[in-house]
Structure 1
Amino acid sequence: MEMIIISPCLTTILALLLFKQLLERTATKINLPPSPWRLPVIGNLHQLSLHPHRSLRSLSFRYGPLMLLHFGRVPVLVVSSSDVAHDIMKTHDFKVANRPKLKVVEKFMNGGRDVAFSPYGEYWRHIKSVCVIHLLSKKMVQSFEKVREEEISLMMESVEKASSSTSPLNLSELLMTLTSDVTSRVSLGRKHSNEESMSEFKNQVRAIMELVGGFPVGEYIPCLAWIDKLNGLDDKLKESSETFGGLMDKVVQEHVEADKPTHDLVDIMLSLERQKKNGIEVRRSDIKFIILDMFLGGTTTTYALLEWIMTELIRHPVRMKKLQEEIRTKATSGTNLYRSQEDVEGMKYLKAVIKEGLRLHPPFPLLVPRLLTEDVNLRGCDIAAGTQVIVNAWAIQRDTVSWGTDAE
């Protein structure tokens, strides 16, 4: 008897929701971007696959490079062409300069007090300028040449040792160690790869990349937040936060207790803690997450690119042979296996390989989401404030309009 009553009620509710959507579409006079039909409650979430950048690209083939989706209650603008991306990030830059408040950021990045996710404003400009001047400027990058040479030489010794004994070598693990050691030395003062905690740290790097690039159900449909707990997302988030946070706490404490400063990025950030500039306060907890940003940014992006380039070279042995010949013949450093920055400057094919690797396999297929803070008219379409903006870099870099019919 109860089922007989419940079934008509559910049918009525669904019908009303669908009717409401239909009324909204017909009654409004604003010109919205093309959008696929969405389901009640979940919107277009059901159209995302395990590889969201691929499914969003497939949808863009039908609905165009400027497409409006709804992930639960959140409107999401998806950009899939370089022209539209230019309009968003250049013409309307200030209107999309902010980041949405994401669950992962709130729990993992102290609510967005780091560089990547902090709100646009004086605090963000201040910490960004510090990181650029003391770590990312051309002068600083060139000053780290000796560090890179030492770590690359150690890696090559491992490869040579493995090849001479015909023992298998985990190249992914080797590349991860290389990038984390270089980044550790230039930003944290020393490398931590030999420590037991670093082993677990490496395991969590992939996990946090997946978390940042994912679409948690609870983020868009609060009433279904229990699904994130059920599928283990909350546990992964907690584990990664504790692992990264523990290592960063240890690094900061080492610098605080050190007899002599090493004048690396941690020391520079700690000096900011003791001073206020233009009323901006940098707290100890902020320093931890700013350093974590630099470490993740320097490690995961480089490591992911190197792994993909090696994968593509193995797939294309003729290209690999051509690259090997260039590296062996255009070196000026004699019998030394290491190739200096001066050697690399003349290696055109090597540069082409790296650029093609970046084009086909961007480390972040979907760029970090932005948040529209004002209404905007983009290419004749009206987009409301509060809309999240996702730029599909993976789709843009395989767009046949820009790259020709053989873009793949």
Structure 2
Amino acid sequence: MDQLILLHQWWQELNQTTPLSTILTSLIVFSFFLLYLFNLIRSKGLNFPPSPPKLPIIGNLHQIGARLHHSLRNLSEKYGPIMLLHLGHSPVLIVSSVEIAKEIFLKTHDAFLYRPQSRAARALFYGCCDIAFCPFGDYWRRVRKICVEELLNQSRVQAFQLVREVEVANMVEKIRLVSLTGDAVNFTQMFATISNNIIIRSAIGRVYEEENSKSFSELSRSAMDLLGYFCFEDLFPILGWMDNLTGLTAKLKTTSGEICKFLDQVIEKREALKSSDDKSDEKDLLDILLHLQKDGNLDNNLTRENIKAILLCFL
């Protein structure tokens, strides 16, 4: 009790001689200093990969330019094929060697199979229940098994040969028609279109281009752009509210809602057809996933959200 009385008296004397704002500022600065010392002491006891000098709070963000691949190449030439970057709050391991990447990610170290779940990935992939961003575990193993044995096996890939031939023939015909008029041919756009059409037709059976609304290819490109957006919540969790000001939150909500609506319509139309064709080689990826869901295998146990998330990985 005497100690509490003395502490109270000391605090009153301190308030009388020093403004409260100055005291709070000093405490905050002192807390950051203690946190820095703690991280420094802890890091000395661990064998981290080489890392460029970092700044407080932002880490190595100041060393990342507009061309990410150029920045990482320049840093890897200086610090080696394995280096550790701190992007804000998030530590990131950069591996620029193919041989080392195979050894780490494909052979012995299963811990590296865990994917960071960004805010955009959680919004677009139904809480990261796809195969690209889902946590390493039983669900990831089941989805990987479905992809390897059911969706991407050799016979399935060969079954889509007709789709590829039809799309290539369509592209050649478009080039022929354009050449007759003497106009320039935009091969970049054509190659992007044919690649997109082959993937969509293999996954959901046809290319959906709705009038007076965004096509799914546009929605897919928007989703890919959002995955690369700067997100405060991912790098500085305490500043996650800033994503509302930058418009990222609204864009994620709008795009994820449009994609969800589109995929729901496609799945409902497919379920209404109640296709019972046993020629599995002629089915697209959506047919296979719906068949696995209907089969009721406890090892799969796919929900509609799981199906939509898996499809988005291919689209």
Compute the TM-score of the two structures, normalised by the length of structure 1.
Answer: 0.63
Determine the structure 1 residue equivalent to 2:265: 250
Q: Report SS of the residue matched to 1:113.
A: coil
Q: Is the 8 A contact 2:60 2:86 kept in 1?
A: yes
RMSD: 2.9
Among 189, 214, 221, which residue is 2:205 paired with?
A: 189
- After TM superposition, the runs of 4+ consecutive aligned structure 1 residues lying more than 4 A away are 4-16
Among 226, 233, 258, which residue is 1:211 paired with?
A: 226
Determine the structure 2 residue equivalent to 1:72: 88
Determine the structure 1 residue equivalent to 2:164: 148
Determine the structure 1 residue equivalent to 2:100: 84
Are 2:118 and 1:115 equivalent residues in the alignment? Answer: no
Report the Cα distance in structure 1 between the residues aligned to 2:20 and 2:229, rounded to whole angstroms. Answer: 39
**Which deviations, in whole Å up to 9, do the C-alpha atoms of 1:158-179 show, x marking residues without a partner?**
1111121022444343333322
Report the Cα distance in structure 1 between the residues aligned to 2:302 and 2:132, rounded to whole angstroms. Answer: 16
Q: Which one-letter code corresponds to 1:239 in the other structure?
A: T
Among 287, 299, 314, which residue is 1:267 paired with?
A: 287
Determine the structure 2 residue equivalent to 1:232: 247
Report the Cα distance in structure 2 between the residues aligned to 1:143 and 1:271, rounded to whole angstroms. Answer: 17
The 5 A counterparts of 1:304-383 are: none
Q: Is the 8 A contact 2:203 2:311 kept in 1?
A: yes
Report the Cα distance in structure 2 between the residues aligned to 1:23 and 1:270, rounded to whole angstroms. Answer: 52
Q: Is the 8 A contact 1:17 1:40 kept in 2?
A: no
Are 2:115 and 1:95 equivalent residues in the alignment? Answer: no
Q: Report SS of the residue matched to 2:146.
A: helix
Q: Which runs of no fewer than 5 residues in structure 2 stay unpaired?
A: 1-18, 278-282
Determine the structure 2 residue equivalent to 1:220: 235
Report the Cα distance in structure 1 between the residues aligned to 2:196 and 2:118, rounded to whole angstroms. Answer: 26
Report the Cα distance in structure 1 between the residues aligned to 2:190 and 2:276, rounded to whole angstroms. Answer: 30
Report the Cα distance in structure 1 between the residues aligned to 2:41 and 2:145, rounded to whole angstroms. Answer: 48
Report the Cα distance in structure 2 between the residues aligned to 1:180 and 1:104, rounded to whole angstroms. Answer: 22
Are 2:299 and 1:284 equivalent residues in the alignment? Answer: no
**Which deviations, in whole Å up to 9, do the C-alpha atoms of 1:301-320 show, x marking residues without a partner?**
xxxxxxxxxxxxxxxxxxxx
Report the Cα distance in structure 2 between the residues aligned to 1:176 and 1:116, rounded to whole angstroms. Answer: 22
Gap change, CA 1:275 and 1:143, over 3 Å in 2: closer
**Which deviations, in whole Å up to 9, do the C-alpha atoms of 1:269-297 show, x marking residues without a partner?**
112223443454211121112122222xx
Determine the structure 2 residue equivalent to 1:202: 217
Q: Which moves more between the two structures, 17-26 or 91-100?
A: 17-26
Gap change, CA 1:150 and 1:64, over 3 Å in 2: same
Determine the structure 2 residue equivalent to 1:346: none
Report the Cα distance in structure 2 between the residues aligned to 1:57 and 1:236, rounded to whole angstroms. Answer: 31
How far off is 1:152 after superposition? 0.8
Report the Cα distance in structure 2 between the residues aligned to 1:26 and 1:135, rounded to whole angstroms. Answer: 49
Report the Cα distance in structure 1 between the residues aligned to 2:256 and 2:27, rounded to whole angstroms. Answer: 44
Determine the structure 1 residue equivalent to 2:120: 104
How far off is 1:256 after superposition? 0.6
Q: Which one-letter code corresponds to 1:132 in the other structure?
A: V
Compute the TM-score of the two structures, normalised by the length of structure 2.
Answer: 0.80
Q: How many residues align?
A: 291
**Which deviations, in whole Å up to 9, do the C-alpha atoms of 1:369-401 show, x marking residues without a partner?**
xxxxxxxxxxxxxxxxxxxxxxxxxxxxxxxxx
Q: Which runs of no fewer than 5 residues in structure 1 stay unpaired?
A: 296-408
How far off is 1:199 after superposition? 4.5
Percent of aligned pairs with the same amino acid: 34
Report the Cα distance in structure 2 between the residues aligned to 1:205 and 1:282, rounded to whole angstroms. Answer: 23
How far off is 1:7 after superposition? 8.5
Report the Cα distance in structure 1 between the residues aligned to 2:178 and 2:306, rounded to whole angstroms. Answer: 42
